[in-house]
Amino acid sequence: MYIQQNPNPYGRRVGDCAVRAISIALNQDWFLTYWGMCLEGAYLGNMPDGNEVWGSYLEKHGFVREDLPNKCPACYTVRDFAADHRAGVYVLGTQKHAVCVIDGNYVDAWDSGDEVPVYVWRKE
């Protein structure tokens, strides 16, 4: 099920999807997440929204990267993933987006349920 939530303090929905998804997954303030990712990016010599950066940031907060189920990789959507994962906290990366899944619900500023995840981070 889709739950609309946008932790961006200005209500923006473009360019900060990794910050929004991670903020929701960690249940922390958008600014804390943003600055934490900036510091991680500086440490790694990369931009804060780079996959390497937010992956490292998630790892430091107790997440592990997992393989996606091998069900029709081109058609397995965020909505499908959420329906298959009724417990736990996840951050999914698609080709151009990041979204949080919590206990079977995908939580985002817009309905990204039709996006196709490429990788997933799970909270241990």
- Of the listed ranges 10-14, 29-33, 42-46, the least confidently predicted one is 10-14
Spatial separation of the C-alpha atoms in residues 93 and 95, rounded to whole Å: 7
Report yes or no: 39 and 120 within 8 Å, Cβ to Cβ.
no
pLDDT at 73 > cutoff 80: no
Per-residue pLDDT tens digits for 90-122 = 999 999 999 999 999 999 999 999 999 999 999
Q: Which residues pair with 2 in a beta bridge?
A: 106
Spatial separation of the C-alpha atoms in residues 53 and 113, rounded to whole Å: 24
Among 85, 90, 82, smallest CA distance to 123 is for 90
pLDDT at 25 > cutoff 80: yes
pLDDT at 14 > cutoff 90: no
